[in-house]
Chain A
Amino acid sequence: MLEGIKKIFGGSKDEGAPKVEEKVEAAPETPVETAPAEETKAASAKPRIGYIHLSGCTGDAMSLTENYDILSTVLTEMVDIVYGQTLVDLWIHGTYAEEMPEMDLCLIEGSVCLQDEHSVHELLEARKKSGLICAFGSCAMTGCFTTFARGGQQAQPKHESFAPISSLVKVDCALPGCPVAPEMIAKTVVALCNGDMEYLQPAIDKAACNAGCGCDVLTGIIRQGLCSGCGTCALACPTRAMGFTEGRPSCDRDRCIKCGTCYTMCPRAWLPIKRIKEDTGL
């Protein structure tokens, strides 16, 4: 089954049957980057996954479900979804979950509203209960368009500060995107199931990054003398905020939603050389 998934999405080239027990590598109790190999420990057969929906638009969850061709397999055979309001109708502030269960991986969509006690509590609980926390989508990672919130609206006029989740808890990996691209989710799932930490490394390194903005390419690439004018950042931008002037990206700040995808996709920010060589055989 997994082979099929790998074929569709071209994940790890690692041959041989998936070793389910090894998947828990994705759920060490301490952060992965310290020593992934040693942290591996035996646990339940399937990774226990949670999905927490904070202040986001559900776009990331929808992107997840767009992987319908692999989703049923993932949900029934590869993981246990143990917590989540939308996916399994479990929420600690509702009536159905007294307590948050232990999770190997908790995906968190949306930024955290500092004035919303439920959101803050749920996020802090999730940190206690989860092996790994993934900022799933740009709102969780950078605040994205919720950055523009200023409060004063119904039904809660006081709700005005929507922060990246890394401002309250330690995040282990981050997947930017507004929303996260379905293919990126699929590739990440396959990598997780294979314990392919190499593929996940960029997402791990980006865990604490909350600087998403079109001007990142100015400060991080052009100002460093690294820009080649290739155009990848404009390809990346979901709102077409990124235009070009004199061979250089130029961000229309009225359109920019602060998702961070442009900088993430820039080949002069980081380049997955090893993976590209494996994928292309070159």
Chain B
Amino acid sequence: MVLGTYKEAISARSTDSKILDVSQDGGIVSALLCYALDEGIIEGAVVAGTPDEDWRPIPTVVTSSDEVIAAAGTKYSMSPTLAALKEATRQYGLEKLGVVATPCQVQGLRKAQAYPFSRFVADKIKLIVGIYCMENFPMASLDTFATAKLGFDSLTDATKMDIGKGKFWLTKDGEDTGLAIKETHGYEQAGCNICMDYVAEWADVSTGSVGSPDGWSTVLTRTDDGETVFKAAVDAGLIETKPMDEVKPGLGLLEKLAKGKKDKNGKEREKRAQMGLPLPVEY
């Protein structure tokens, strides 16, 4: 169960060109949020936008499809997205919320639901769309990749950022430049080194690029709620799908990377324990 509990693994892509023009991969995150908003399943969502287009993720409350789409695309730096749940419930007064969350954020959300120490926030979370995550970078690391390693004048010159096929990619003037992933090692935030979850194992539905062809996403439906929303969005024609065993490179690669993360970070955890450093207490 290296991918956690899931109902179905599917390769999928949004059918909306407005989404595909700006989405990171198959636009599944944005398509699901737009559908859930239109259908009233959620009244709003918290996402990571970058309003100044400088790649710095800013937690953002969105209540319309346009706002969802404006926040599409991966920013490879930490977004304290969950902080915006406060704004969404208090200022916006939203009762039904969606959240786009990395695995560590899904853990924060599920803990808040199981132990709701913060009043009347966790009960409003209706849809958790998890995104796969191997690691995350401080902004200064991204600056280093762009300027010192790839020779850009500035990180803001990049129009797209992606990790795939063993490289960290930046796009400038329509041209992709890649940096070998091993060049990025040691620049990720320390907290990622003890993270055991690659595929957002506790989300309602998880998605990421690995396993599917370019421009497509690999989707894992997990809870009943997640499955219902995903299937309904497919039935409504907003998402097209292909069986996972018909696409390349396929689910095997996702499993391999998920296991690799668990093995590597499991060792780091052991090392910490030997040094007498604390780890999260598990109940």
Contact = CB atoms under 8 A, between A and B. Distances in A.
B117 A181 contact: yes
Contact of A235 (B83, B107, B139, B279): B83
B138 A224 contact: no
A232 B195 contact: no
Contacts of A266: 108
Interface in B105-127: 105, 107-123
Nearest to A198: B283
B162 to A, nearest CB: 20
Contacts of B113: 276, 279
Interface in B64-106: 77-86, 102, 104-105
Nearest to A220: B278
B283 A281 contact: no
B139 A247 contact: yes
Given A183-B120, A230-B81, 14 more contacts: A176-B117, A184-B119, A224-B277, A225-B272, A226-B278, A228-B136, A229-B79, A230-B82, A231-B83, A234-B86, A235-B112, A246-B139, A265-B115, A273-B283
Interface residues of B, number: 56
A111 interface: no
B228 to A, nearest CB: 14
Nearest to B204: A280
B222 interface: yes
Contacts of A180: 117
Contacts of B280: 226, 267-271
Given A183-B122, A226-B194, A230-B80, A272 B278 contact: no
A261 interface: yes
A63 interface: yes
B189 A235 contact: no
B281 A270 contact: yes
A254 B192 CA distance: 31
A183 B119 CA distance: 7
A241 B143 CA distance: 29
Contacts of A242: 83
Given A181-B117, A187-B116, A230-B107, A282 B86 contact: no
Nearest to A202: B283
Nearest to A273: B282
27 contacts: A177-B119, A184-B115, A220-B278, A225-B190, A225-B277, A226-B280, A227-B189, A228-B192, A229-B104, A229-B136, A229-B189, A230-B102, A231-B59, A231-B81, A235-B82, A235-B108, A235-B121, A247-B80, A247-B189, A248-B78, A265-B111, A265-B117, A270-B280, A275-B115, A276-B113, A280-B110, A282-B5
Interface residues of A, number: 54
B108 A232 contact: yes
Interface of A: 63, 176-177, 179-184, 187, 198, 201-202, 205, 220, 224-232, 234-238, 240, 242, 244, 246-249, 261, 264-276, 279-282
Given A230-B80, A271-B111, A282-B223, A236 B202 contact: no
Interface string B126-167: 000000000010111000000000000000000000000000
A244 B80 contact: yes
A199 to B, nearest CB: 9
Nearest to A203: B115
Contacts of B59: 231
